[in-house]
Structures are given as C-alpha cells and as structure tokens.
Amino acid sequence: MVTKSEETQLNRLESQVDNGGGGAWEYLCLVRKLKVRRSDKVLKYGLSILNDSKKRSSLGSEEWTLYEEVAIAAMDCQSLDVAKVSIVASRLNVFWI
C-alpha cells in the first residue's frame, strides 16, 4: 500500500520530470520501490535515460535493471519493437558478466 506521502512524492517527481526539471532516475527508482505500475511513464523516462549514453553509463549494473523495466513497460504499452530491443540488450548482459 502506497502512503499519501509516497504518492505525493511520486506525483511531484513525475511533474518535475515532465516539466524538464530532471529526476527521471529518481522517479523510476521510486516507482520500483513502491511497486506501482506506471508503464507509460517508465517507458518514456526509461528510454530517455537509455538513449543518452552518458546517463546510461552512469547507471552501472542498474542499467540492466532499467532495460528489463523498460521491456515490461513497453509490452504493457503495446510497444513491442521497443520491448524486443530491450530484452535483447538485457540478455546480452549475461555474456558480459
């Protein structure tokens, strides 16, 4: 169960990211922590990070978690091409370990 305070924090971060104020990674981490389903936003914000090589490389091992989350969000949003690419990328991690 998400508390009122957590919901407020989530909505604030979502608004901040939507308005170009940054915080996409923090938003995605909070969505994961609270176990809420916001597939459209996870897809949008996740892709913005994955498509920026500097942001993507700063994630370290969390990059693969993000690929998996984006793949699931893409399937929820019927963006199957994005889902396929994300799944392939996350599976490649197995060979890099």
Least confident range from 8-17, 27-36, 59-68: namely 59-68
Read off φ and ψ for residue 36, nearest 5 degrees: -100, 160
Per-residue pLDDT band at 82 (split at 50, 70, 90): confident
Residue 36 has pLDDT above 80, yes or no: yes
Gap between the Cα atoms of 7 and 60, Å rounded:
28
Which residues have CB under 8 Å from 9's CB, separation 6+? 30
- Give how far the C-alpha of residue 55 lies from the chain's centroid of Cα atoms, to the nearest Å: 12
- Please compute the mean of the pLDDT values over residues 58-76 and round it to a whole number: 92
Per-residue pLDDT band at 93 (split at 50, 70, 90): low
- Please compute the mean of the pLDDT values over residues 71-90 and round it to a whole number: 88
Annotated domain spans of the chain: 4-96
C-alpha distance from residue 63 to each of 19, 47, 48, 68, 86 (Å): 24, 11, 13, 9, 11
Which of 47, 18, 48, 13 has its CA nearest to residue 30?
Answer: 13
